[in-house]
Structure 1
Amino acid sequence: MRSCGPESGVPVVLIAGWPQTLHAWRAVQEKLADAGIRSIALDPPGLGESDPIGDAANYATPEVARRMAAALALAGVDRFVLVGHDVGAWIAYAWASLMPQGIAGLMLQDAAIPGAFPDGFLSIGNAARVFQFAFNAVPELPERLTRGRERVYLDWLFETKTRVAGAVTAEDISVYMRCYGQPERMSAGFNYYRAVPASIDALNDVAPLTMPVLALGAEFGVGAMMGKVLEPRCTDLKSVVVAGSGHFIPEEAPDVVCRELQALIARTSMPG
C-alpha cells in the first residue's frame, strides 16, 4: 500500500493490473497530490508486495475484492473513489457490484472485464489484443514457457500494447520484474485468468451500479467498447476514449487520468 497527498480527506484508491504493480500509478499519484487529492495505491493479492493466496480458485474477482476491501477497512478507509486498470478494473467492478458501500465513485480503465464483456471480444479475430486470456489460463504451460524468460514476455507486452514513447521505460519494467521474476508471482498473475470463469459466474445477476462511473478506454486498446459494454450496467455513466494512448493508460496518459478523476469526484457527493 502506498499513500500520497494529504493525510486527511476522502481518498482515491488505485488498483493496477497485470503485469504491473502499484508502481504503475507513480505519475498519477504525484499529480493527484499536486492537486491536493489523497490517493492510496494497492497491490492485488499475489502482485507487487502483496502475498499470493493459494490456487486459482482464490483469484476469482469477488474473493479478491473481499480481501482488498477488508484490508482497506483495517486501514481505516470507509469512503473512497475506486479506480482500477486492467485486472485492477476486473477487481474494482466486482467490488462495486457486490460491496458498493463506501464507494463514492468508480473509474474503470481499459479492460475486458469478466462478467461485463461479451465472449465475442475474446475471439480469435482479436487475438493480437486478447491472446493472454487463453494463454495465461492454461494450467502449467505459461509457467513452463516463461520461466527464466519472464523479461522477454513483459518486454513484448509493453512494446506491443503501448503507443506513447517512453511511457514505460526499461527501468520501469525492471521494477515490475522484481515481482514477476519470481515464479510464484508469475503463477499468481496467471491465476487471475484461470479464475475468469468463476468470476463471470459470480457476477451473472448483479444489479446495475448506482454510483457515478467513468469508463476510460484507450484509443489503441479497448476504446469505446468500455462505455458500450458498461452502459446497461450503470445508472450514471460517462465514457471517455483516451486519444493516442495504448492499453497502459495510467502511464501513457496520467494527465488525462487525473483530469477525469477530478471530474468524477465532482459528480460524487464527496466534499470538494
Structure 2
Amino acid sequence: MTLQAYGKIAHRHVEVNGVRLHVAEQGEGPLVLLLHGFPESWYSWRHQFAPLAEAGYRVVAVDQRGYARSEQPASVDAYTLLHLVGDASALIGALGEERAVLVGHDWGAPVAWTTATLRPDLVRGVAGLSVPPLPTFGPPPLAQARELYGEGFYQIYFQRPGVADAELAEDLHSTFRRMLFGGSGDRPGAERPETWTVPEGRTFRDTVPEPEKLPDWLSEADIEAFVADYAEHGEHAFTGGLNWYRNIDRNNELLAGLVGRVVEVPALYVAGDRDLVSAMISEEALGKLLDTMVPKLHRRVTLPGAGHWTQQERPAEVTAALLDFLRHLDG
C-alpha cells in the first residue's frame, strides 16, 4: 500500500504472531508507533496523525490484541506483557521497518517501556503517557493492590470472569461516555484524584456516573467512533482488554528475573496533574522512578488540568511534546 505523506488515514490488517491486528497509518518517514490503552483504540490518537505526518513521520496506530477491530485470542493467558511486547516488536518488522519510536498511553505505556527495555535495538526512543516505567514493568502484584486499596480496587474487580465484561458491553455508548468523562480532568473532584474503587454490592458502572454533558474535548461523534470500533465483538467487546488485567500476577512471575533493568533509550514522560494514576504514586516516588528507570529522560511534561486521557484532552500540548522529542532524536 502506498500512502501520501499528508493524505488521509489508511486502514488495513497485519498479522503478527498469529494474531490479526488492525492498523491505521498516515505519512512517510521514520516510523512512530502509537499504542493505546484501556478502553480505547487507534482512534484515541486521532489528533496526532496529521501533525506528525506533516512533520515528516510515518504514523501508525494499532488496535492492540484483544481490542476494537483487532483479533481476540480466546485464551486468557494469551495477553501477557511478553505477548504484547512480541506484538509491538513484530509489528515494526511487519511494517517493513527496522526501528521505531514507540508512544504508549495507559496500558500502552508498559508495552512501550518494556519493549524499549527488552529490545532497544528496535526502539529509537520511547514516550510514555500517564503511566511511568515501573520496576515490575507492568502493574505490581494484586496482593499489593489489595493491601493498599482493598477488594473493590478496579484492577481486582476486573479479575472476576465475565462480570466487568457484561457490565461494560451492555451499552457501549454509555460505557464510553462514563469512562472517558469519569477519568478526565473535567470530572467532579478531579483536582483531588482518587483511584477507581467499587464498593461492596455495587457495580463498576456505579462508580462512573454518566455525564449530562460531554466535555469540550469529547464529542458525540467521538463516542460513535469508539462504539463502531468495539461493536464487532458483541458481548465480548471488552473481554480482550480486561484479559490484560487478568495477567497482572502472571506478568510479575514471568518478568521477575528482569527486575532491575532500566530503559536505556531516550525517553519522554507526559501526564496530567489530575490523572487517576497520580492517586497511586506520590510525586516524590514518581520523581525517583523516572530518575532510576529512565537515565536518558529528555523531558517530563505535566499538563495542568488534564486527567487520564492525555492525548485526547490536551492534543495540542501532547503533539508539541512529541514533536519536540522527535526533533531531539533526529538531532
Corresponding residue number in structure 2 for 1:232 = 292
2:35 corresponds to 1:19? no
- State how far apart, in whole Å, the 2-side matches of 1:57 and 1:177 are: 26
Distance of aligned partners of 1:38 and 1:67 in 2 relative to their CA distance in 1, 3 Å threshold: closer
Matched letter for residue 137 of structure 1: Q
Distance of aligned partners of 1:21 and 1:112 in 2 relative to their CA distance in 1, 3 Å threshold: same
SS in structure 1 at match of 2:47: helix
What is the CA-CA distance between 1:124 and the residue it aligns to? 7.7
Give CA deviations for 1:104-141 in whole Å, capped at 9, x if unaligned. Answer: 110011127672466699468768xx943122222222
Give CA deviations for 1:236-268 in whole Å, capped at 9, x if unaligned. Answer: 123221112110011111112222112222332
1:80-159 to 2 correspondence within 5 Å?
Answer: 80-111=100-131, 115-116=136-137, 122=145, 131-159=153-181
Give CA deviations for 1:196-234 in whole Å, capped at 9, x if unaligned. Answer: 112233333241111011121211113556554333122
- State how far apart, in whole Å, the 2-side matches of 1:152 and 1:137 are: 22
2:329 corresponds to 1:263? no
2:263 corresponds to 1:209? yes
Distance of aligned partners of 1:62 and 1:139 in 2 relative to their CA distance in 1, 3 Å threshold: same
Deviates more, 1:43-52 or 1:216-225: 216-225
What is the CA-CA distance between 1:26 and the residue it aligns to? 0.7
1:169-184 to 2 correspondence within 5 Å?
Answer: 169-181=219-231, 182-184=234-236
Matched letter for residue 153 of structure 1: T
Equivalent in 295, 309, 326 of residue 248 of structure 1:
309
Unaligned runs of 5+ in 1: none
| Aligned residues with identical type, % of pairs | 24
Equivalent in 83, 104, 123 of residue 63 of structure 1:
83
Corresponding residue number in structure 2 for 1:29 = 49
What is the CA-CA distance between 1:169 and the residue it aligns to? 2.0
Distance of aligned partners of 1:195 and 1:230 in 2 relative to their CA distance in 1, 3 Å threshold: farther
Normalised by the length of structure 2, the TM-score is 0.72
Aligned CA RMSD, in angstroms, stands at: 2.6
Give CA deviations for 1:82-121 in whole Å, capped at 9, x if unaligned. Answer: 0000111121122112222121110011127672466699
What is the CA-CA distance between 1:50 and the residue it aligns to? 1.2
What is the CA-CA distance between 1:2 and the residue it aligns to? 1.4
Equivalent in 22, 40, 51 of residue 71 of structure 2:
51
- State how far apart, in whole Å, the 2-side matches of 1:193 and 1:144 are: 16
Distance of aligned partners of 1:92 and 1:256 in 2 relative to their CA distance in 1, 3 Å threshold: same
Equivalent in 155, 167, 170 of residue 217 of structure 2:
167
Distance of aligned partners of 1:256 and 1:153 in 2 relative to their CA distance in 1, 3 Å threshold: same
Distance of aligned partners of 1:140 and 1:113 in 2 relative to their CA distance in 1, 3 Å threshold: farther
Q: Which has the higher contact order (CA 8 A, sep 6+)?
A: 1
Matched letter for residue 255 of structure 2: L
- State how far apart, in whole Å, the 2-side matches of 1:132 and 1:33 are: 37
Runs of 4+ in 1 over 6 A off after TM superposition: 123-127
Distance of aligned partners of 1:118 and 1:189 in 2 relative to their CA distance in 1, 3 Å threshold: closer
Distance of aligned partners of 1:264 and 1:147 in 2 relative to their CA distance in 1, 3 Å threshold: closer
Distance of aligned partners of 1:34 and 1:229 in 2 relative to their CA distance in 1, 3 Å threshold: same
What is the CA-CA distance between 1:157 and the residue it aligns to? 1.1
Deviates more, 1:39-48 or 1:27-36: 27-36
Matched letter for residue 293 of structure 2: R
What is the CA-CA distance between 1:146 and the residue it aligns to? 3.4
Matched letter for residue 159 of structure 1: F
Unaligned runs of 5+ in 2: 1-22, 187-214
Corresponding residue number in structure 1 for 2:6 = none
Q: Which of the pair has more CA radius of gyration?
A: 2
2:60 corresponds to 1:40? yes
Distance of aligned partners of 1:227 and 1:254 in 2 relative to their CA distance in 1, 3 Å threshold: farther
Give CA deviations for 1:55-98 in whole Å, capped at 9, x if unaligned. Answer: 22111111112023212211112111100001111211221122
